[in-house]
Amino acid sequence: MRLEKFKENKDRIHLLFFAVIMLNKNGKEAYEAIKEMISDVKALFMSGHSEDIVYKKDIPEKKLPLISKPVLPAKILEKVRDALN
């Protein structure tokens, strides 16, 4: 994950969008690293993995917004609006 890019642009970023499963860190780990810099950062998580894998990554237990794939574009927009409000 490119925390340097986030640091350079943090004043222009209003919402973070993470995959639950990523190559180097999972989405929650990346979110937690950014949350240390900006405590009220808003984020959405997306996964195409089964619920048991997602639960192991600790996303639903933390009440973080999760979008399960496949998903229609209108549903993504709805979740974005909800997260930004």
Estimate to the nearest angstrom the gap between the alpha carbon of 2 and the chain centroid: 14
Q: What domains appear along the chain, each with residue ranges and CATH number?
A: 3-84 (3.40.50.2300)
Residues 48, 51, 53, 57, CA torsion sign: positive
What is the Cα–Cα distance from 68 to 60, expressed in whole angstroms?
Answer: 11
CB atoms inside a 10 Å sphere around CB 25: 15
pLDDT tens digits, residue range 29-71? 888 889 898 888 899 988 887 777 777 766 655 677 888 889 9
What's the token pair of residue 49? 């993995």
User: Residue with structure tokens 């979008």?
Assistant: 67
DSSP assignment, residue 85? -
pTM tops 0.75, yes or no: yes
